[in-house]
Structure 1
Amino acid sequence: MEHALWLLCATLAVSTLLYYLANMQSRRRHSGTGGGRRRILLPPGPRPLPLVGNLLDLRAGNLHHTLASLARAHGPVMRLRLGLTTAVVVSSRDAAREAFARHDGSLSARAVPDMARAAGFAERSMIWLPSSDPRWKSLRGVVATHAFSPRSLASARGVRERKVRDMVSYIRVHAGQPVDVGRAVYGGVINLVSSALFAVDVVDDVGDESAQGLRELVEELVEAIVKPNVSDLFPFPRPLDIQGWRRWTARRFHKLFRVLDGIVDRRLAEDEASSTSSKDDDTHGDFLGALLELMSTGKLTRGDVRAIMFDVFGAGTGTIAITVELAMAELLRHPSIMAKVRMELESALGNTKAIEEPDVVSLPYLQAVVKEAMRLHPVAPILLPHQASEDGVVLGGYAVPKGCTVIFNSWAIMRDPAAWERPDEFIPERFLDGEHETVGFRGREFKLIPFGSGRRLCPGLPMAERVVPLVLASLLRAFEWRLPDGVSAEQLNVTEKFTTSNVLAVPLRAVPIVIT
């Protein structure tokens, strides 16, 4: 114990010394002029303290709010020192455009948290692999082709629509009493994603132990990877895993791998049984089937299949469910907007009760509500950190050094007053005419980036932009929603709480009344 403590103190002392040396060298390199040529300065930012840097500046409140507040004082391209790690924070539409349009290739590497390296996961995950790695391109291609291509999404459309009807049926059982909207939608969306991709119901299939364990494990791992970790702030003691988070995460990963292996093994057994009988197997042709076919030909390993399953499941469920809850909260806060959505549904669908995916195309106001909900309340207010892979990147006139972590504050970017009029208000009409009418989710205008932009654009976007409006329209078509007794629209709390994603600090409770 004494030896470990001495080693920790010595390591931190060395880290502190190196911090000062690096800081002095950085000041010499990037300040003043030299050789008759003006040097590009590093971005401005709050003054860092020795060793801890600016960590104390970030300790209060939601991180995206705090970063936005600091950016108002120091500029839309701002430098922070996080322990011994240098980060540049991008907080405006124009700075985001410069980053993604001019330097996308140089900024598309990942700053990988130490816990993501547990059990070798980061080396197989398309979330964490650098975009220059051939394996990243291969895995991304597999997902784009077999999970989220128009053909793949069309083939699984019936499954998604059936799961949305199941969600509506579950809520109908509880009609007339307050329900936790987020929890009800989350359970339904988990089943939707897992059934569409893997033919497994995670929540309802009580007889399947593997499926039952998947939800809890995914949530634990996603939460663990974003936890503050000394190893990410001070690289030198990283091998010691001082807090034990990497070891803790590795155990969870191995448990998750057993769960995923169970799902894979069950499918392989079903396929083998199907091949020896005359019965048709209605699970053939889904995403898991495509993965297993690639594994059988040696194009993917079992480890690749595990990583892909975790990536698409872990990233897909939360975004859809949380966005629906946030959109519902804003509609309940704004009864006049809710009335416009209901009027559009009535006009476009007539007597049709069950909504199908193609129906939502004819609902432009509802689509505008979804866009405005994602703009105002992005599920990922801080995009997964990028990293500069080479020198020469200049943002806002400031140098971004090689190896620097680059943080995109999407919450601040999507509330940039230079890009949006009345940016803090919920106004779906802004997407129906004028300059914002053609703004989409792919981040090409760099002012609506809930899914990121450029090479690191979320691959699950095509599913989310189908499912979110489908779920929202189905809930509004089946029920009239009211706030619980004693709660007025003005009193509804939409304060945010940022943990692994941006959620309501007070979960939304509302009363569904069946529309006959």
Structure 2
Amino acid sequence: MSLRFGELRVMVASSPDAAREIMKLHDAAFASRPLSPMQELAYHGAGEGVIFAPYGEGWRQLRKICAVELLTPRRVHSFRHVRADELSLLLLSISAAAAATSPSPVNLGERIAAFVADSTVRAIIGSRFEHRDEYLRMLQEGIKIVPGMTLPDLFPSSRIARLVSRVPGKIERHRRGMQKLIDTIITEHRERRASGKDDDDEEEEDLLDVLLRLQKEVNSQYPLTTENIKTVMLDMFGAGSETSATMLQWAMAELIRNPRVMRKAQEELRRALAEDGKVTEDKLPTLHYLHLVIKETLRLHPPAPLLLPRKCGSPSCKVLGYDIPEGTMVIVNAWAISRDPAHWQNPDEFMPERFERCGRDFRGTDFEFIPFGAGRRMCPGMAFGLAHIELALAALLFHFDWELPGGMAVEELDMTEAFGVTTQLQSDLVVVAVPRVPLSIE
């Protein structure tokens, strides 16, 4: 589909064949990101990061850092104690509401978002930063003002469009505040490392410690600037927090609407973990049906339904036989692809068992199922995000049964999607937790 958004030329791919040509056959030609004037203002220094950087040597170096240092399975595993700590707080807060004489409904969406955000922030900057709450608040504000199709975005050549819009002022104020806060975070980390703390305990390093260590190593294979570090921090929070929280909320909403699937997942969990009395990460790989539930949630509700836009960087590129002009914004509609009845039976139904038959996976080789993208620009933090989703979902299902408040029928649960870069539930997920397995938290 070819579209015009104001002055912007846009091409939308909504089939597995088109996605395969863009992200595999012509991957290098579509490996850069388009940046509008407002995005350039918001992501000042975006070229220094991973998500929005143009395709080239600088981006390849940072991608290597993610693959070799920051987001390896070993590094993700090293933060298991952080996830366990934050999970305990989540479960305790829900249990307190459920233990009341008259159990009160809980806003599960808010509590899930807090769990993921706190775990992610601790992994990135540690828990020793005194302005951690302010940092978290500003990051959430930044997500809300991420520019989209504003007037200056649609008409980038128009000075009038920029003058009459209030968006530039909001973005500039937020960017200055965030820059000041990140400078403080980095200063604290540098001072701590200079004092000799944590030098001999790599397992205790947070991700910012790793970046600062690499910057300090004179002969490092990956030279880093301070702007690189600042932008990568923001990239990791945005990609690792918002998407994981959104996925967890959708998973719980779908399970509540589908009691058969909920019971089946709970039976597996309570049978496999009966002797342990709690959920631990080392037991997660054995939970077959839980992983099918996560796959089906990713299919119906991909974290970024339109992925992140790409830009055609070749003067002569064809997709499915059509010429794509250089500079065209290219959008891959992962939401439509994963609901295409030509490739999925009963595509709008929540049926985790379908993955036992089809065997498709989300790691970038099955183009009918690409919630994390594919090719060079595939999400590098997939393992980091899934670690939060698997652990929290397993614990919520293991310890509690779930009901809707006020005798509401499951068919009445509002599943309306909110518009945004990530597609969240429009309404709060307010539910009643019924304790089933007592908490065993040290």
Partner of 1:258: 180
Partner of 1:332: 256
SS at match of 2:88: helix
Query: Contact 1:223–1:499 at 8 Å: present in 2 too?
Result: no
Deviation at residue 160 of structure 1 after TM alignment: 1.9
1:95 aligns with 2:22: no
Partner of 2:167: 245
Deviation at residue 220 of structure 1 after TM alignment: 2.6
Letter in 1 for 2:379: C
Paired with 1:188 and 1:282, the residues of 2 have a C-alpha distance of: 24
Tell which deviates more after alignment, 390-399 or 86-95. Answer: 390-399
Paired with 2:159 and 2:63, the residues of 1 have a C-alpha distance of: 29
Deviation at residue 240 of structure 1 after TM alignment: 7.2
Letter in 2 for 1:106: A
1:302 aligns with 2:223: no
1:474 aligned to which of 377, 380, 395: 395
Paired with 2:270 and 2:124, the residues of 1 have a C-alpha distance of: 32
Q: Which aligned pairs between 1:396-407 and structure 2 lie closer than 5 A? A: 396-407=320-331
Partner of 1:140: 63
Q: Which aligned pairs between 1:139-178 and structure 2 lie closer than 5 A? A: 139-175=62-98, 176-178=103-105
Letter in 1 for 2:73: P
| Paired residues, number | 427
Query: Contact 1:379–1:450 at 8 Å: present in 2 too?
Result: yes
Deviation at residue 392 of structure 1 after TM alignment: 2.7
Letter in 1 for 2:362: F
1:189 aligned to which of 108, 113, 116: 116
2:428 aligned to which of 484, 503, 507: 507
Query: Contact 2:47–2:54 at 8 Å: present in 1 too?
Result: no
Paired with 1:218 and 1:463, the residues of 2 have a C-alpha distance of: 18
Deviation at residue 92 of structure 1 after TM alignment: 1.4
Tell which deviates more after alignment, 378-387 or 113-122. Answer: 113-122
SS at match of 1:109: coil
1:317 aligns with 2:241: yes
1:441 aligns with 2:362: yes
Deviation at residue 402 of structure 1 after TM alignment: 0.8
Deviation at residue 354 of structure 1 after TM alignment: 2.1
Paired with 1:302 and 1:279, the residues of 2 have a C-alpha distance of: 20
Q: Deviations over 1:437-479 (max 9, x none)?
A: 2x22222111111111111111110112222111100111111
Q: Which of structures 1 and 2 has the bigger CA Rg? A: 1
Paired with 2:292 and 2:94, the residues of 1 have a C-alpha distance of: 25
Query: Contact 2:292–2:352 at 8 Å: present in 1 too?
Result: yes
Q: Deviations over 1:66-109 (max 9, x none)?
A: xxxxxxxxxxxx00011111101111122212222211111111
Higher relative contact order (CA 8 A, sep 6+): 2
1:354 aligns with 2:278: yes
Paired with 2:347 and 2:319, the residues of 1 have a C-alpha distance of: 24
Partner of 1:219: 140
Q: In percent, how many aligned pairs have the same letter?
A: 34
Partner of 1:379: 303
Partner of 1:109: 32
SS at match of 2:112: helix
Deviation at residue 279 of structure 1 after TM alignment: 11
Paired with 2:133 and 2:108, the residues of 1 have a C-alpha distance of: 21
Paired with 2:151 and 2:398, the residues of 1 have a C-alpha distance of: 49
1:363 aligns with 2:295: no
Deviation at residue 280 of structure 1 after TM alignment: 8.1
Give the 3 Å change call, closer, same or farther, for CA 341–284 of structure 1 in structure 2: closer
Q: Deviations over 1:209-254 (max 9, x none)?
A: x211222322232333333222322232259733253343232122
Q: Deviations over 1:158-212 (max 9, x none)?
A: 22222222221222122232111110011011111111232138xxx8xx2x211
1:180 aligns with 2:107: yes
Partner of 1:271: 193
Query: Contact 1:91–1:413 at 8 Å: present in 2 too?
Result: yes
Q: Which aligned pairs between 1:450-469 and structure 2 lie closer than 5 A? A: 450-469=371-390
Tell which deviates more after alignment, 363-372 or 234-243. Answer: 234-243
Query: Contact 1:112–1:122 at 8 Å: present in 2 too?
Result: no
SS at match of 1:305: helix
RMSD: 2.2
Paired with 1:279 and 1:391, the residues of 2 have a C-alpha distance of: 50
Paired with 1:235 and 1:498, the residues of 2 have a C-alpha distance of: 23
Tell which deviates more after alignment, 282-291 or 448-457. Answer: 282-291
Q: Which aligned pairs between 1:203-214 and structure 2 lie closer than 5 A? A: 208=130, 210-214=131-135
Letter in 2 for 1:451: F
Give the 3 Å change call, closer, same or farther, for CA 280–123 of structure 1 in structure 2: closer
Q: So what's the TM-score if we normalise by structure 2?
A: 0.91
Q: Deviations over 1:405-456 (max 9, x none)?
A: 1011111011111111111111100012x2x22x222221111111111111
Unaligned runs of 5+ in 1: 1-77
Paired with 2:46 and 2:78, the residues of 1 have a C-alpha distance of: 31
Give the 3 Å change call, closer, same or farther, for CA 283–247 of structure 1 in structure 2: farther
Partner of 1:46: none
Query: Contact 2:303–2:423 at 8 Å: present in 1 too?
Result: yes
Paired with 2:249 and 2:232, the residues of 1 have a C-alpha distance of: 27
Q: Deviations over 1:119-162 (max 9, x none)?
A: 7322222211112x211111222222222102211222222222
Query: Contact 1:274–1:281 at 8 Å: present in 2 too?
Result: no
Query: Contact 2:50–2:235 at 8 Å: present in 1 too?
Result: yes
SS at match of 2:44: helix
Letter in 1 for 2:135: L
1:389 aligns with 2:313: yes
Partner of 1:235: 156
Q: Which aligned pairs between 1:2-21 and structure 2 lie closer than 5 A? A: none
Paired with 1:302 and 1:239, the residues of 2 have a C-alpha distance of: 35
SS at match of 2:330: strand
Partner of 1:49: none
Q: Deviations over 1:239-274 (max 9, x none)?
A: 973325334323212211221222222222333344
Give the 3 Å change call, closer, same or farther, for CA 380–371 of structure 1 in structure 2: same
Paired with 2:292 and 2:141, the residues of 1 have a C-alpha distance of: 33
Deviation at residue 351 of structure 1 after TM alignment: 2.9
Paired with 2:259 and 2:203, the residues of 1 have a C-alpha distance of: 43
Letter in 1 for 2:226: R
